[in-house]
């Protein structure tokens, strides 16, 4: 993926702050973050079930994902979508938007951030983010329902290694957050999505190995419950081979 310049701008409306890419939109409206607005345009689609509330919509011939930040775990029973306010720069939407923008500028295969909204309510805030939607892709989960080629597993490993070499930590690296491009009978390239709570870190084998372990557990779980059939020890070794090949290639140059 080619490196892209992202132009961050802010729009303040009372207790609401909207962060957006001025290269993509002149001035976003507050209504852009409301599913009802896009439903009225006749172009809203509910995204596959996940932890948050996510929708697909189209704007000026480009497809986007609108996601409302929702809590996971037991705390969601007490507070579904509110977070403690400390500073705008610490909000989840702000951090994810800037992380995606920086990764796009480095040429990493992630969706481009369009806009994010933070609404402060005293000590608490709610947030939303809009990102571009990749076309002609399926999740690694869907791709692994049946046999995947060794080359494709290697491509997944190579993709993950690119992020690790850039110091990108993904807080929830699982088979649902890795996308495989589909173009006719060809598979690839590989993308990574959902960087909520992600961050840049100094490259370190501890957190990098933990990232890979999390993905391995995800694939094992999907295999155990019968969701996928194309994952086994050979497939994982192919992924690790691809992961290691990036380092070997760098060393030769």
pLDDT averaged over every residue in the chain: 91
Phi, psi of 184 (to 5 degrees): 65, -125
Give the domain ranges of the chain: 8-132, 137-252
How is domain 137-252 classified at the CATH fold level?
Transferase(Phosphotransferase); domain 1 (1.10.510)
Contact 7, 81 (CB under 8 A): no
Q: Give tens-digit pLDDT for 31-60.
A: 999 999 999 988 788 887 554 579 999 998
| Active-site option among 81, 146, 165, 172 | 172
Burial (CB count <10 Å: 0-12, 13-18, 19+), residue 122:
exposed
Contact 116, 93 (CB under 8 A): yes
Burial (CB count <10 Å: 0-12, 13-18, 19+), residue 113:
buried
Is 50 exceeded by the pLDDT of residue 251?
no
DSSP states along 21-77: ETTT-SS--GGGG-HHHHHHTT--EEPPP-SSEEEEEEETTEEEEEEE----SGGGG
Q: Give tens-digit pLDDT for 191-227.
A: 999 999 999 999 999 999 999 999 999 999 999 999 9
Region 102-124: what's the mean pLDDT? 97
pLDDT at 32: 96
Q: Give tens-digit pLDDT for 65-108.
A: 999 999 876 555 567 899 999 999 999 999 999 999 999 999 99
Closest by alpha carbon to 194, among 209, 214, 213? 214
For residue 252, what pLDDT band results from cuts at 50, 70 and 90? very low
Model confidence pTM above 0.95:
no
pLDDT at 49: 55
Catalytic annotation on 172?
Answer: yes
């Amino acid at each position: 993926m080619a490196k892209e310049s992202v132009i961050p701008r802010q729009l303040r409306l009372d207790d609401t702050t909207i962060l957006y890419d001025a290269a993509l939109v002149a001035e976003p409206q507050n209504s852009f973050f409301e599913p009802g607005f896009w439903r009225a345009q006749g172009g809203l689609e509910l995204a596959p079930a996940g932890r948050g509330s996510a929708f697909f919509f189209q704007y000026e011939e480009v497809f986007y994902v609108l996601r409302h930040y929702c809590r996971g775990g037991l705390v969601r029973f007490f507070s579904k979508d509110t977070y403690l306010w400390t500073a705008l720069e610490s909000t989840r939407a702000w951090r994810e938007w800037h992380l995606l923008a920086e990764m796009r500028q480095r040429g990493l295969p992630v969706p481009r951030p369009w806009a994010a909204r933070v609404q402060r309510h005293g000590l608490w805030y709610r947030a939303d983010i809009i990102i571009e939607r990749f076309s002609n892709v399926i999740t690694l989960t869907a791709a692994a329902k049946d046999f995947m080629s060794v080359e494709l597993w290697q491509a997944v490993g190579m993709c993950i290694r690119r992020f690790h070499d850039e110091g990108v930590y993904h807080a929830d690296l699982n088979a649902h957050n890795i996308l495989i491009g589909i173009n006719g009978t060809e598979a690839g390239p590989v993308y990574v999505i959902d960087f909520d709570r992600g961050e840049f870190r100094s490259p370190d084998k501890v957190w990098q190995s933990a990232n890979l372990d999390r993905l391995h557990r995800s694939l094992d779980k999907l295999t155990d419950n019968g969701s996928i059939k194309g994952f086994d020890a050979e497939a994982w070794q192919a992924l690790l081979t691809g992961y290691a090949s990036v380092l070997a290639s760098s060393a030769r140059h």
